[in-house]
Amino acid sequence: MLIEERLKEIQEKIKKKLPKGITVASVEFEGPELVIYTDDPKTFADQDDLIKILARDIRKRIVVRPTILEDPERAASAIRRVVGENGGISDIFFEADTGEVLIEAEKPGVVIGKNGATLRDITREIGWTPKVVRTPPIESSTVKQVRQYLRAAHQERKELLKRIGRRIHRDVISKDQWIRVTTLGCCREVGRAAFLLSTPESRVLIDCGEKPGNLDSNPYLYVPEIHPLTQLDAVVLTHAHLDHCAYVPLLYKYGYEGPVYSTPPTRDLAAMLQLDYLDVVNKEGKPIPYSSNEVKEYIKHSIVLNYGCVTDIAPDIKLTFHNAGHILGSAIAHFHVGDGLYNVAFTGDLHYGKSRLFNAAVNHFPRLETMFMESTYGGAQDMQPSRNDAEEQLYEVFREVLGRGGKIIIPAFAVGRSQEVMLAIEEGMRLEKFPQVKVYLDGMIKEATAIHTTYPEYLNSELRNLIFKEGHNPFLAECFEQVDSQEKRERVITGEPCVIITTSGMLNGGPVMEYLRNLADDERNCLVFVGYQADGTLGRRIQKGWREIPIGNRETIIVNLDCITVDGFSGHSDRRQLMNFVSHMQPKPEKIFTIHGDENKTIDLASSIYKKLHIQTTSPMNLETYRLI
Amino acid sequence: MLIEERLKEIQEKIKKKLPKGITVASVEFEGPELVIYTDDPKTFADQDDLIKILARDIRKRIVVRPTILEDPERAASAIRRVVGENGGISDIFFEADTGEVLIEAEKPGVVIGKNGATLRDITREIGWTPKVVRTPPIESSTVKQVRQYLRAAHQERKELLKRIGRRIHRDVISKDQWIRVTTLGCCREVGRAAFLLSTPESRVLIDCGEKPGNLDSNPYLYVPEIHPLTQLDAVVLTHAHLDHCAYVPLLYKYGYEGPVYSTPPTRDLAAMLQLDYLDVVNKEGKPIPYSSNEVKEYIKHSIVLNYGCVTDIAPDIKLTFHNAGHILGSAIAHFHVGDGLYNVAFTGDLHYGKSRLFNAAVNHFPRLETMFMESTYGGAQDMQPSRNDAEEQLYEVFREVLGRGGKIIIPAFAVGRSQEVMLAIEEGMRLEKFPQVKVYLDGMIKEATAIHTTYPEYLNSELRNLIFKEGHNPFLAECFEQVDSQEKRERVITGEPCVIITTSGMLNGGPVMEYLRNLADDERNCLVFVGYQADGTLGRRIQKGWREIPIGNRETIIVNLDCITVDGFSGHSDRRQLMNFVSHMQPKPEKIFTIHGDENKTIDLASSIYKKLHIQTTSPMNLETYRLI
Ligand SMILES: [Zn+2]
Ligand SMILES: [Zn+2]
Ligand SMILES: [Zn+2]
Ligand SMILES: [Zn+2]
Ligand SMILES: [Zn+2]
């Protein structure tokens, strides 16, 4: 059936369901949503459950939009009038491509009103669909830039959402029935995650990352399986770490024109880290694989989905994100293929345990036959201490090093470990577990933290309460100080004993190099590893005991300072948690592929799961293709 | 390095090795061979081992050709003069594209002379490179047509061999190292054989066949792995059966422009069967997938290799064919990848046991790590009686059916089973094991038999001796009579008790249908199955006991005649032979993939080999990709 006929049919169906007096001007697919354009959005807003009923009947995500939008200025003052002073509205953004108005307010509850009454009042007044977000306590320039960019590109974006929407809802034509996964990276190794899920109808790429510490090892994008890129239906991002997202913008350089699905925080964090990545590569004097223009293309093509929202991304594939507990916005990507045919999930990186920031990863699904799961700490010996023990060990190190007048360098991913460690340090200092010193943040850590507070609904409820109900925001504690210039960095280096949390987390470039260069020879100082050091990175080498480090230009760093690894802060599940994650899964999957781990760990985890839990397992190699059905 | 520079370098190298007085005008890659053009081929011919020495040093197959070729007519009379009456020269063909002259003679030994002396005399006289073949005792119109066509296209063929040659000898550029096999058909099923062998440099397709009895199930040529077809380096044909070669011409329709490697008999048999296939499909009123023009393209692009000849087919892949014992020219395709990196073989169809026609399949290789092996009779219960017992059973059936005045219909593949059965019948009749009756051959059987006698070196030595030394050609026995018209067919149907050997072997179309339509209701008659009946074919259904057969146009055949299966004539190894084939292999392979068999048989064979012979086995599914390294 032609897409036009299909839309016509849907419109007729909707008309029949509508109460008298409500009209539908037109319907259109925009991205994964079906948009109903109406001349009287106000009447629509009055019909409480109408949209829910329609969505269930038509089995699409439905959005209602007015055909004509009120003048933004007039609408803005109407909003302020309806909400009143109490809401603490800090900003209002009109998104012309979606007909939505984003209301940023100190007290979102007031803007929403009891059971959404105020929100409906707003809709009735202005036509625009109101969305409310909490005014972030720390402003993120990334979030601001991303929103500005999307607003500027709204005309183009409207067109491409329409194109994507029509592609998603095209007819299914093949009579063959199969589902395959091709491994394009991240098998028997950590890094360059890239998996192709394909059916006779559709192709979806899950992640497209870098190999940490190895600029030459990209995902295998040169093999024919993924070409032509124009035939790819979707890219799905599990989370914003570079080993999962660094090469997504490159796809646009190579001709990809489709959407990238992720959670909202992942979109912003990924864009931030990609730009930082270009910067780091450039500073190392190496050619950058793509430019900031391709990052913009990525943002322009991004479609964000919240946890739990079931979304059509291809004629025969529905995607749902579930919390993975690993970093802000990290997701397990669950794919439902065909009409009840098969379900496969990719865990991305996984933390099955509650942390200061996040809830434990989800392991209950409506249905699931096959899972691709990470194995970073999948080896039989990979037990991590509890978070509590880890924190006590960190405090102990702090006491000792600060006591002898040393400085503490903590290399950390800007996203994830940094925030966990910040929260532990803030509490330790508050409870006087170690001397009061400055904690400097260098690299993208401050900005990443700001993004965390922009998406409070992605933090666990305790932290959210602490910040927004009790009014205590640990990220804003006095001890934290941003390093934002070379001059400041030099002052930190020559100054008093202190703690420095800095990127990159595996010592492959970034400001940590500058600190190392200047602080490594003083044995009072201490380098504290709190995160996973991948094979081939400088971090791993120092961890293994290297004490003379060539850093280009014939320069060598002599490592005299203490090197200590504090396990237990990881955003990855340890071996026990991974086994628990699987054994408590509902339903029990038929098949598990162990990926994202060194060769012996993926193999060891696969064989343990098979032996103890009687699930068929495989530790695939890169560049293989497996039939799931 | 540019290919021109490379050729220059090789030419210099050759010059240095040559004795004084021999000059090299130029060198060129033509197909897999390096051709040395010289102004004095006669001097070259005098240097006995020169070409061998050069080939070893340069590690290429070397051919010497004169820059200027003698006028064919003058050359022909020179040949006849040098050889003399004794040789029985029946024809002489000049191949202008290769500078070869094909001398067809009753007594090839005389043309060759002692230690090749006469042949060298000829070279000295005429410049053309002489090749001698035995005058076939039965003339094949296929062979004649193929040769005529190649002669007519010689200019175009010269160009394409040069193009192919330069492609084969291009530089290796990738720094990655991997070898993969993608299964595009023939896994957990019999039919539509198609396997893609790929490295970072090269891609080779092994076989491209039909699924017997199922015109809709082609190999999975629509998946991206094999595209673009212009990037395919080579197609390699294990043998001429349609489940391995039917869709090769289609590749040219879809844009493939490269070579098809096979043994010489496979080329001719495949072309014959493809044309017959088009005819059968057309007669069934179905659309043909390609036309005879694409069969011509296939012939034009074919490159033939004899057993044991190691040949470069891609910058990093060498191909060697070994006897598979299955049908005329059937081969195990052995691939040596990289410089000592890895070896993988595809058995095609396999008979590990001597038959009346062929030697047993080869299972000793210089090196071999992985093997893809057929499993047609791989189930634990798939034991076949000995060939001798099978023949005795056949004679018994003949006695009974002929004794009661019935006719015997033997559906058989034109190639393989027919000739085996003919030899058994000829001997049985000669030894008076059953009454003397006419044995009618319908379909392509006579023509296929002619092709057999065109390539005596592909028959086993006993049969070759019988025909050429003892002068007894069983294929020419008086009892055999070709059915070459509808009138004749009707006379056979209404005539005396007799034996009818006819295609197709699985009752999916062909003249056998006509016999069945007319002879099925008489219970004195008998249908004797001597070959494998694939799932989904009419043959399999009747074997299973179907007695009412709809044959289109609302017509139904009522099966009253006897249906008997005589096992033991198969061209496939039975279970015991397959296990013996593997257990006596040298070297023992590391890994075996069981293919070309029903699901339970491939799985059963894989698990038995693993348990008894401790070799890692896999029973792959279609559309998977496996890393070998
Ligand atoms: Zn991660
Ligand atoms: Zn949603
Ligand atoms: Zn990761
Ligand atoms: Zn065969
Ligand atoms: Zn076969």
Contacts of B180 in chain A (CB under 8 A): 623-624
Q: Which pLDDT score, from 0 to 100, does residue B338 have? A: 95
Q: Which two tokens stand for residue A252?
A: 């646009």
How far separated are the first and last CA of chain B, in Å rounded? 27
Distance CA A477, CA A431 (A): 13
What ipTM, to 2 d.p.?
0.87
Q: Are B329 and B553 in contact (CB under 8 A)?
A: no
Residue labelled with tokens 């200047």: A518
Distance from CA of B573 to the nearest CA of A (A): 29
Contact A625 B625 (CB under 8 A): yes
Instruction: Name which of B222, B225, B626 is nearest A225 (Cβ-Cβ).
Output: B225
Instruction: Name which of B225, B624, B626 is nearest A224 (Cβ-Cβ).
Output: B225
Cis peptide leading into residue B228 (ω within 30°): yes
Task: Identify the contact set of chain A against chain B, taking CB-CB distances under 8 A.
Answer: 178, 180, 182, 200, 222, 224-227, 231, 621-627
- Per-residue pLDDT band for A193 (boundaries 50, 70, 90) equals very high
Residue labelled with tokens 């590893």: A529
Q: Are A485 and A392 in contact (CB under 8 A)?
A: no
Helix (H/G/I), strand (E/B), else coil: B323? strand
Contact A180 B224 (CB under 8 A): no
Pairing of strands A317-323, A331-337: antiparallel
* Partners of A481 in the β-ladder: A440
Q: What residue numbers of B does the annotated binding site cover?
A: 239, 241, 243-244, 326, 349, 596
Q: Which pLDDT score, from 0 to 100, does residue A280 have? A: 86
Q: Which two tokens stand for residue B562?
A: 């006897």
Centre of ligand 3 from the C-alpha of residue A189, in Å: 10
Helix (H/G/I), strand (E/B), else coil: A132? strand
- Per-residue pLDDT band for A96 (boundaries 50, 70, 90) equals confident
- Nearest CA-CA partner of B570 in B399, B416, B403: B416
Task: Identify the contact set of chain B against chain A, taking CB-CB distances under 8 A.
Answer: 178, 180, 182, 200, 222, 224-227, 231, 621-627
Q: Are A376 and A597 in contact (CB under 8 A)?
A: yes
Instruction: Name which of A178, A222, A623 is nearest B180 (Cβ-Cβ).
Output: A623
- Nearest CA-CA partner of B292 in B303, B307, B281, B284: B281
Question: Largest Cα–Cα distance of chain A, in whole Å?
Answer: 81
Q: Which of A90-99, A402-411, A444-453 has the lowest mean pLDDT?
A: A90-99
Tens digits of residue pLDDT in A542-575: 999 999 988 777 888 899 999 999 999 999 999 9
Strand runs (DSSP E) across A98-247, as ranges?
Answer: 100-105, 129-134, 180-183, 195-198, 203-206, 234-236
Please name the residue of chain B whose CA is at the shortest distance from the CA of residue A226.
B224
Q: What are phi and psi of A546, to 5 degrees?
A: -60, 135
Contact B623 A180 (CB under 8 A): yes
Closest ligand (CA of B241): 4
Q: In what order do the strands lie in the sheet with A89-95?
A: A89-95, A100-105, A129-134
Q: What residue numbers of B does the annotated binding site for Zn(2+) cover?
A: 239, 241, 243-244, 326, 349, 596
Instruction: Name which of B231, B624, B627 is nearest A627 (Cβ-Cβ).
Output: B624
Centre of ligand 5 from the C-alpha of residue B244, in Å: 6
Centre of ligand 1 from the C-alpha of residue A326, in Å: 7
Contacts of A200 in chain B (CB under 8 A): 222
Centre of ligand 5 from the C-alpha of residue B375, in Å: 10
Contact A178 B623 (CB under 8 A): yes
Which of B221, B370, B625 is most worth mutating to test chain A (most A CB atoms within 10 A of its CB)? Answer: B625
Q: What residue numbers of A does the annotated binding site for Zn(2+) cover?
A: 239, 241, 243-244, 326, 349, 596
Could you give all domains of chain B from N- to C-terminal order, each with its CATH number? 3-66 (3.30.300.230), 73-135 (3.30.300.20), 170-289+334-380+576-627 (3.60.15.10), 387-565 (3.40.50.10890)
Residue A355 has pLDDT above 90, yes or no: yes
Instruction: Name which of B182, B200, B226 is nearest A625 (Cβ-Cβ).
Output: B182
Residue labelled with tokens 């034991």: B383
Question: How far is CA B330 from each of CA A561, A599, B11, B416, B610, rounded to the nearest angstrom?
Answer: 70, 41, 37, 10, 27
Q: Are B240 and B327 in contact (CB under 8 A)?
A: yes
Contact A627 B627 (CB under 8 A): no
Contacts of A226 in chain B (CB under 8 A): 224
Q: Are B37 and B66 in contact (CB under 8 A)?
A: yes
SS3 content of chain A, % helix, strand, coil (to 5): 40, 20, 40
Distance CA A591, CA A370 (A): 5
Distance from CA of B626 to the nearest CA of A (A): 5
- Per-residue pLDDT band for A335 (boundaries 50, 70, 90) equals very high
Contact B626 A624 (CB under 8 A): yes
**Which residue stretches of chain B have pLDDT < 50?**
none
Residue A147 has pLDDT above 80, yes or no: yes
Cis peptide leading into residue A587 (ω within 30°): yes
Helix (H/G/I), strand (E/B), else coil: A534? coil
Q: Which of A29-38, A218-227, B210-219, B515-524 has the lowest mean pLDDT?
A: B210-219
Question: How far is CA A461 from each of CA A131, A357, A450, A457, A466, rounded to the nearest angstrom?
Answer: 21, 9, 18, 8, 8
Give the A:B interface size as CB pairs under 8 Å: 41
Contacts of B625 in chain A (CB under 8 A): 182, 225, 623-625
Q: Which pLDDT score, from 0 to 100, does residue A613 have? A: 97
Centre of ligand 2 from the C-alpha of residue A608, in Å: 37
Distance CA B14, CA A371 (A): 59
Read off the pLDDT of each residue in A585-601 and give the average, rounded to a whole number. 97
Q: Which pLDDT score, from 0 to 100, does residue A76 have? A: 93
Contact A624 B623 (CB under 8 A): no
Residue B253 belongs to what H/E stretch?
helix B248-253
Q: Count Cα neighbours of A175 within 13 Å in the Cβ-side half-sphere.
A: 3
DSSP state of B364: B
Centre of ligand 3 from the C-alpha of residue A348, in Å: 7
Centre of ligand 4 from the C-alpha of residue B243, in Å: 7
Residues 6+ apart with CB under 8 A from A585: A363, A364, A365, A368, A371
Please name the residue of chain A whose CA is at the shortest distance from the CA of residue B224.
A225
Instruction: Name which of B178, B224, B623 is nearest A224 (Cβ-Cβ).
Output: B224
Contacts of A624 in chain B (CB under 8 A): 180, 624-627
Distance CA A625, CA B200 (A): 16
Q: Which pLDDT score, from 0 to 100, does residue B587 have? A: 97
* Partners of B213 in the β-ladder: none
Q: What are phi and psi of B399, to 5 degrees?
A: -55, -45
Q: Which pLDDT score, from 0 to 100, does residue B69 have? A: 82
Q: Which pLDDT score, from 0 to 100, does residue A311 have? A: 96
Mean predicted lDDT score pLDDT of chain A: 93
Centre of ligand 1 from the C-alpha of residue A241, in Å: 5
Q: What are phi and psi of B502, to 5 degrees?
A: -150, 155
Centre of ligand 4 from the C-alpha of residue B374, in Å: 10
**DSSP conformation letters of A377-423:** T-STT-----HHHHHHHHHHHHHHHHHTT--EEEE--TTTHHHHHHH
Contact B624 A624 (CB under 8 A): yes
Q: Which pLDDT score, from 0 to 100, does residue A51 have? A: 84
Q: Which pLDDT score, from 0 to 100, does residue A169 have? A: 94
Q: Which pLDDT score, from 0 to 100, does residue B129 have? A: 85
Read off the pLDDT of each residue in A586-595 and give the average, rounded to a whole number. 98
Centre of ligand 5 from the C-alpha of residue B190, in Å: 7
Contact B624 A182 (CB under 8 A): no
Instruction: Name which of B227, B622, B625 is nearest A624 (Cβ-Cβ).
Output: B625
Q: Are A319 and A313 in contact (CB under 8 A)?
A: yes
Q: Which two tokens stand for residue A231?
A: 């035939």
Tens digits of residue pLDDT in A271-314: 999 999 999 899 888 999 999 999 999 999 999 999 999 999 99
Q: How many CB atoms lie within 10 A of CB B433?
A: 17
Q: Are A346 and A333 in contact (CB under 8 A)?
A: yes
Q: What are phi and psi of B85, to 5 degrees?
A: -60, -35
Which of A223, A226, A227 is most worth mutating to test chain B (most B CB atoms within 10 A of its CB)? Answer: A223
Contacts of A225 in chain B (CB under 8 A): 224-225, 625
Helix (H/G/I), strand (E/B), else coil: B316? coil
Residue A47 has pLDDT above 80, yes or no: no
Centre of ligand 1 from the C-alpha of residue A314, in Å: 26
Q: Which pLDDT score, from 0 to 100, does residue B271 have? A: 97
Strand runs (DSSP E) across A148-237, as ranges?
Answer: 180-183, 195-198, 203-206, 234-236
- Nearest CA-CA partner of A581 in A418, A345, A389, A417: A345
Q: Are B503 and B445 in contact (CB under 8 A)?
A: yes
